[in-house]
Amino acid sequence: MSETLIEAKNLPRHVAIIMDGNGRWAEQRALARTEGHRRGSDAVRRVVRAARRLGVEALTLFAFSEQNWARPRIEVQLLMSLLREFLVSERGEILDNGIRLRAIGDLARLPPEVRMVLDPLANDSAENGDMTLTLALSYGGREEIADAARDLARAVAAGQLDPEAITPELLQSRIASVAVGEPDLLIRTGGELRISNFLLWGAAYSELHFTKKLWPDFEAEDLYQAIGAYQSRERRFGLTGAQVKVLRSAQNDNESSMAPRAVQGLVQGVR
Ligand code: IPE
Ligand code: IPE
Ligand code: MG
């Protein structure tokens, strides 16, 4: 499938990717795992470009998990220096192409050399509106939900919040990654069929796409294929297929404002 065959109308607004398989890519070639990570960062460059060209509004990449800190020190160090290199080398392209760069995760754990390039780029690109590129760094879905719960617990302890007022919407408002929106499409490369602590909250209704391709081999074409597969799915958000059809045609007739408020949120997702 080529870029031009992608159906523009039903493009996922937010694509998230678990970029997995760098180590195996290298091991298959009797290279050091770190070489796989090097090639993996070239794949990041390719995919950011392809997503930007397609008009995807948000691309969220799982680059380093909270649990990845437990890997051998030398591998962690190399991943951090590749991250720094990526941010330095892509800075111009990110700014020139209207891309807003954000990071989610426990950024306080990142080495200062990374923060020195990450923070200014996040600042300088903050007003860009063509695509938001979010890097999940030192990120853990459970950790992030626990942070949000702690936030609410503090407000309760301070007498500012009634525990009865805690709703999914309120908890969600404290979950940092939700600020970048819920992924419509979540891709995992490398063949594993798991979420590995990525966007646990935001991925509740994401369409999942798994591919055996190892991340360093992932090309623009693989992104198009994933999007093509996404476009053939029916997102129901707990409704019946018949309800979804009614909502969709109402929306096409521009009558979605007549739908009850609660359902309107679903229409956004159903599109
Ligand atoms: C993904 O590739 C990169 C990170 C997790 C940082 P891996 O390094 O996990 O590669 P495999 O899964 O061992 O092949
Ligand atoms: C998930 O990959 C994290 C990233 C891609 C950054 P892992 O390689 O860490 O996940 P597991 O260990 O296979 O679950
Ligand atoms: Mg892995």
| Confidence tier at 251 by pLDDT (50, 70, 90) | confident
Task: Verify whether ligand 2 is closer than 6 Å to residue 25 (CB atom).
Answer: no
Query: Where in the chain are the domains?
Result: 3-233, 236-271
- Measured in Å, residue 6 CA sits from the centre of ligand 1 at 29
Annotation: CATH topology of 3-233: Undecaprenyl pyrophosphate synthetase (3.40.1180)
> Of all protein residues, whose CA lies closest to atom 8 belonging to ligand 2?
20
Q: Which residues contact 15 (CB under 8 A, 6 or more apart)?
A: 51, 56, 58, 59, 60, 183, 184, 185, 186, 187, 223, 226, 227
Q: Which residues are designated catalytic? A: 20, 68
Mean pLDDT of 54-76: 98
Strand partners, 27: none
Mean pLDDT of 140-166: 98
What SS3 class is residue 158? coil
> Of all protein residues, whose CA lies closest to atom 8 belonging to ligand 1?
23
In whole angstroms, what separates CA 224 from the centre of its chain? 16
Q: Which residues contact 190 (CB under 8 A, 6 or more apart)?
A: 18, 20, 21, 24, 212, 213, 214, 215
63, 137, 142, 144, 182 from 103: Cα distances, Å: 10, 7, 17, 13, 15
- Report the residue among 65, 75, 86, 134 best suited for mutation to probe ligand 2: largest number of ligand atoms under 8 A from its CB: 65
In whole angstroms, what separates CA 108 from the centre of its chain? 20
pLDDT number for residue 255: 45
Mean pLDDT in the chain? Answer: 93
- Quick one: which atom of ligand 2 is closest to the CA of 23? 8
Give the global pTM: 0.93
| Confidence tier at 250 by pLDDT (50, 70, 90) | confident
| Confidence tier at 265 by pLDDT (50, 70, 90) | low
